[in-house]
Structure 1
Amino acid sequence: MSLGDEHDGQTRTRLPEGNTGDPYATPRRPARGSRSLIAVVGVVALLIAAIALANRGSDTPTGGSDTTGGAGAPARSAAPTAASGVRPVTGKNGEIPTGYARDEQGAQSAATNYAVALGSVDMFQRGPREAIVRAIHDPAVTDGLVKRLDDSYSAAFLANVGLTPEGLAPSGLTFVSRTIPVGAKVKDFTNDTATVEVWCTGLVGLAGEGSTKPVTSTWFTITEKLRWTGGDWKITGSEQTEGPTPVNGDNRASMADDIAKAVEGYGGFTYAR
């Protein structure tokens, strides 16, 4: 990727190099005064999805243009999701894409893929969670963040989510936690720092016969602050806001077993701007 690419306003999606589970799925909770969100410094929205799941249990720049045609017809900008054809990353750390360009395009690609990693099922298991945090965060914040997250993902918390003390789904059920980025944009950028917003939809819940915590979806925007360190973009802090949320469609909800099969059968993507 080159510095010139940061202005083309185009989005690319490359087929997976491996199955990456979902930011990070973060369902929106119904308003109830007795509920509170757990915010962790550095990854403010990391636990919101799981908290929502636990609480539910108590309820049972522009690219090229083309002409529209006709004399005097206005020029139309290329769609922001049009492929740029530029390879998004040069390597990976485990299942996490790494090696981003030191430009706006690279920062957007990093923030988007990091949101996916932070929303994955692995975040609910101590060992994999630490590996993710250390792979995508600034080393200056990782030690404290790992400890805070370990404290937050307590056995009691995981039980409320419907998981075992090890962060696994009960026998016969599939735990779903995925974040699916819809788009990204740079809010601030320098040669060493960047602030990127990633608009996402997410899935979270337990799929399978007899699940009392069905998989639900939500919409949210994650804002990540990045710093260039060790030859790549790393997170120094993040926060989340609700929406933008579209009107629900008329799709009929699938059976729990269908959701479980879909999650097991469809892998993730490497996202890029």
Structure 2
Amino acid sequence: MSQGDERGYGDEPGGRTDDAYSTLGGTRQTRTRLPGGDEGDGYGRRPARNSRSLVMIVGVVVLLIAAIAFANQSGNGDEGSGGSGKEPPAAGAGPTAATGTKPVQGKNGTIASGFAHDEQGAQSAAANYAVALVSAEILQPDRRGVIVRQIFIAERVGELEAKFNQAYSKDFLDKVGLDANGNAAEGMTYVSRTAPVGTKAVAYSAESATVEVWCTGVFGTAGVSSTNPVSNDWFTMTLKLQWAGNDWKVDSFSQKEGPAPVNTDRTASNADEIAKAVEEYGGFTYAR
């Protein structure tokens, strides 16, 4: 709204006029101040100044009351988010919202830890664990065991570490252009970067949760002579979590393709640009 549209600045009937010398009623008659002139203006009428002052005082009081009411209403809304009587939001997809609970308290190595013991904490844990499980580090034998012990419940560590070692065998590493230590050849950069797009709690209790994480990512080897060029993918990872050791940990997980959008005709960046982007842009800690 423009300044000229604001009410009470000349356009509203009864508002101030541009004539600083105009008098009550526009008569332009000179008023004579008599002794005790607070009672009248010489024509048996109360001065306009008193009426305007009263209107201004009433207006200020109304504004103050409205401001106090608004502040109290905002305060109640914040308290309601903490569970003071407001109805919970409808089930389904929703944006990240402030809950008053810090979702991530710290880090265990490069992986976030200390997730809140609630449904949003479980979703935050699942998103961060999905990133770690599809990272370039999981292909490196010396890092793989550390990641598995950080993410999974203690009862599953030995079994899952053996399965990871079998899945990421030397033959597999050869196919993606990596050596036995999971490193790319000289002049090459292996890329495996995952970005969660959204999370959904399929099931939740205080002791366990099942969370789906919809992800996209870039994967491949950047380099002039690469036979495994970097491409993007869309997939959904389902993680079954347990509350163990004062944190959410993974019991098991699975992965399926999609949902995937239609690809655009955007020109692909060259290998040097991709490699530089991976080196310069760090990852995120994900939280709801």
TM-score scaled by structure 2? Answer: 0.67
**Identical pairs, percent:** 53
Structure 1 equivalent of residue 216 of structure 2: 201
Pairwise CA RMSD: 1.8
Q: Relative to structure 1, is the Cα distance of residues 5 and 156 closer, same or farther in structure 2, using a 3 angstrom cutoff? A: farther
- Point out the structure with the larger helix share: 2
Structure 2: distance between partners of 1:202 and 1:161: 16
Which amino acid in 2 is paired with 1:196? V
Structure 1 equivalent of residue 245 of structure 2: 230
Structure 1: distance between partners of 2:202 and 2:167: 30
- List runs of 5+ in structure 1 lacking aligned partners: 7-60, 64-78
- Bigger Rg, which one: 2
Structure 2 equivalent of residue 179 of structure 1: 194
Shift in Å at residue 185 of structure 1? Answer: 1.0
Q: Relative to structure 1, is the Cα distance of residues 125 and 5 closer, same or farther in structure 2, using a 3 angstrom cutoff? A: farther
SS of 1:90's equivalent in the other structure is: strand
Matched, 1:124 2:139: yes
- List runs of 5+ in structure 2 lacking aligned partners: 1-80
Q: 1:214 aligns with which of 220, 224, 229?
A: 229
Matched, 1:92 2:111: no
Q: Which structure has the higher relative contact order (CA within 8 Å, separation 6+)?
A: 1
SS of 1:111's equivalent in the other structure is: helix
Question: Does the 8 Å contact 1:5/1:105 carry over to 2?
Answer: no
Question: Does the 8 Å contact 2:102/2:116 carry over to 1?
Answer: no
Q: 2:173 aligns with which of 125, 135, 158?
A: 158
Structure 1: distance between partners of 2:163 and 2:262: 36
Structure 2: distance between partners of 1:183 and 1:132: 23
Shift in Å at residue 170 of structure 1? Answer: 0.4
Structure 2 equivalent of residue 81 of structure 1: 95
- Point out the structure with the larger strand share: 1
1:98-113 pair list within 5 angstroms: 98-113=113-128
Shift in Å at residue 62 of structure 1? Answer: 3.8
Count of residue pairs brought into register by the alignment = 201
SS of 2:115's equivalent in the other structure is: coil
TM-score scaled by structure 1? Answer: 0.70
Q: 1:168 aligns with which of 173, 183, 193?
A: 183
- Deviations 1:131-183, CA, capped at 9 Å, x for gaps: 00110101110011111211222222211111011110000000001111000
Shift in Å at residue 5 of structure 1? Answer: 6.8
